[in-house]
Chain A
């Protein structure tokens, strides 16, 4: 059975801090790993990672995948209150063509 574990479960930081969110996984026939940001409603797509060691970057957010150690990290630098959300990690099983999600990390950025 495919499995995704995210840590920490929740995190409170001050505006301007840098945070690192972790995602470890077990999946048969790994296809890709996805990061989503969920505020009040639908998760919005952040990154899709398929290759080890190649950093994906979008503004203050970046992510990298380690397929040997089976984990990914999501970094957010210079955090802002608008970064407050639940960050979800999911892996795609290439055989079953379906996603398995972690429980998410709830990030709260305070002034």
Chain B
């Protein structure tokens, strides 16, 4: 089955701890994205990557880090510098046609809770 997978489904973080959220896609998409969703605020872009070994900050990158060592994988680390990490995290991917981004498709999400 082609698609985007995220793990874990739920994640608990202790104060001062770094945690990593996994995102994998087998759609052969070039671009991958991380969003954060809080109640009443829609989706906000954290980081995105248009090609392997390259990524750009989104609108709310502070306290987060990413890597893109493989086309299929785009893990997100929530660092201890992120003071309010409790949220629903969504990963997405898309392809490019004639240099322009096509529709983004989403994974099932990871809900992060702080203990």
A contact residues vs B (CB 8 Å cutoff):
4, 31, 34, 36, 41-45, 48, 88, 90, 92, 94, 97-104
A sample of 24 inter-chain contacts (CB < 8 A) reads A31-B100, A31-B101, A34-B103, A36-B106, A41-B109, A42-B107, A43-B43, A43-B106, A45-B105, A48-B102, A88-B42, A90-B43, A94-B101, A97-B48, A97-B50, A97-B100, A98-B45, A99-B43, A99-B45, A100-B45, A102-B42, A103-B40, A103-B41, A104-B42
With A41-B109, A42-B108, A42-B109 given, is the CB distance from A98 to B103 under 8 Å? no
A31–B107 CA distance with the chains assembled, in angstroms:
23
A contact residues around B112 at 8 Å (CB)? none
Give min CB distance, A3 to chain B, whole Å: 11
Residue B58 CB within 8 A of the other chain: yes
Q: Contact at B100–A42, with CB atoms within 8 Å?
A: no
With A97-B50, A103-B40 given, is the CB distance from A92 to B101 under 8 Å? yes
Residue B104 CB within 8 A of the other chain: yes
A92–B58 CA distance with the chains assembled, in angstroms:
14
Interface SS of chain B? strand
* For the complex of A and B, 4 pairs with smallest distance between CB atoms: A42-B106, A103-B42, A101-B43, A101-B42
A43–B105 CA distance with the chains assembled, in angstroms:
8
B contact residues vs A (CB 8 Å cutoff):
31, 33, 35, 40-45, 48, 50, 58, 90, 96, 100-109
Q: Contact at A43–B90, with CB atoms within 8 Å?
A: yes
Give the residue among B33, B40, B50, B106 with the most A Cβ atoms within 10 A. B106
> Can you name 7 extra interface pairs (CB under 8 A) apart from A41-B109, A98-B45?
A31-B100, A34-B104, A36-B106, A42-B109, A48-B103, A88-B43, A103-B41
